[in-house]
Amino acid sequence: MLFPQGVAIDGATGAVSPATGRYVKKLSALRDLYASPALVDAFIAEHGDVNAYEVIEYRPEGSDICFGTTIMAPGMIGDEYFLTRGHYHAKKDRGETYYTQSGEGLLLLHSRDGEARVVEMRPGICAFIPPEWAHRSVNTGTTPLVFVWMCTIDAGHDYGEVATRGMRQRAVEQDGRPTVVDNPNYAT
């Protein structure tokens, strides 16, 4: 039987208490998602294989919904901001929300039929991610980007399509400002 529970979420650190699980994604695991994997290698040679982001989950067994936090480190690979893997949901009718707690970033999205959108990530903005939109977060700031995600427990992740084809857009620094540009390597 499921019981109600208050879960403490620290908007500054992303700590979730109680949590049911967590994982860390190292920069090396994201190497091939960047425009220049060679620059990822150079970054790791200089700074080590840093934790690019951490996910902390509250996923009660038997529930229909779950939530948690993602804590993204700040950083850049060349002119490209640190990013998450990016995914569609495995279940095609499942959406999600991302409610930013601290830091600043951009949420890159594209739909299966070719639309691309960007949603600003900053405290106070809760992003609506409809079903069948691939989504990737980027940290465009100099501090950790912390956001609360919430979705159905069966939404699942389809990472393969984004890993193979890339995202339609990239977030890069141009003239000192975050700028979204088309990804010339996106495989149509």
What's the min distance (Å) between Cβ of 177 and Fe ion? 27
**Minimum CB–partner distance for residue 155 and Fe ion (Å):** 6
Nearer to Fe ion, 67 or 81 (CB): 67
- Asked if 47 and 74 touch (Cβ cutoff 8 Å), the reply is no
Least distance to Fe ion, CB of residue 88, Å: 8
What strands, in cross-sheet order, belong to the sheet with 21-26? 21-26, 51-58, 65-72, 145-152, 96-102, 126-129
CB of 181 to Fe ion, least distance (A): 23
Whole-number Å distance between alpha carbons of 9 and 148: 8
Residue closer to Fe ion, measured from CB, 57 or 96? 96
> Which residue lies nearer to Fe ion by CB, 80 or 96?
96
Q: Provide the binding-site residues for Fe ion, judged by CB under 5 A.
A: 96
Picking from 24, 9, 11, 6, the residue whose alpha carbon sits closest to that of residue 60 is: 6
Q: Which amino acid is at 35?
A: A
DSSP state letter for 91: S
Residue closest to Fe ion when measured from CB atoms: 96
- In which element (H, E) is residue 35 found? none
Nearer to Fe ion, 84 or 140 (CB): 84
